[in-house]
Amino acid sequence: MASDPGTNRRITRLENDTESIYELLTAIGTTQHDHTRRLEEVGSRLDGLEAGLTAVASTQADHGRRLDGVEAHLTGLDTRLDGVEAHLTGLDTRLDGVEAHLTGLGTTLDDHTHRFEAMEGTLAEIIRRLPEPS
């Protein structure tokens, strides 16, 4: 069989093209494998991040519940302090009344002191007028 040099060249070129295509397909396969492995790594990291975020969300929910409890406790304390304040206001009013009463007693005591001083003066005069014992 006689072969034409142009045909041989075309066949050689087709064989070279085929081999180049297989080399490119191998390189593409390797790249796809690398990308798949890297995507799996990224997926694993995202799964880890998702688990971490779930834990953070759970912790935040726990903190929210605890803060609600603290708020309720503080509201109770606020109510109790309002009661204490009202009681102290009542005591303050009562002490004002006691102070006014004591001021009145001080005035009465001053009046009695003046009366006793006057009575002492009178007694001193009576004693002065009594005859001397013989």
What string of DSSP letters covers 4-71? Answer: -HHHHHHHHHHHHHHHHHHHHHHHHHHHHHHHHHHHHHHHHHHHHHHHHHHHHHHHHHHHHHHHHHHH
Handedness of CA 92, 93, 98, 100 (dihedral sign): positive
Looking at residue 120, its pLDDT comes to 93
- pTM over 0.85? The answer is no
Instruction: Give the pLDDT confidence of 25-45 residue by residue, as tens digits.
Output: 999 999 999 999 999 999 999
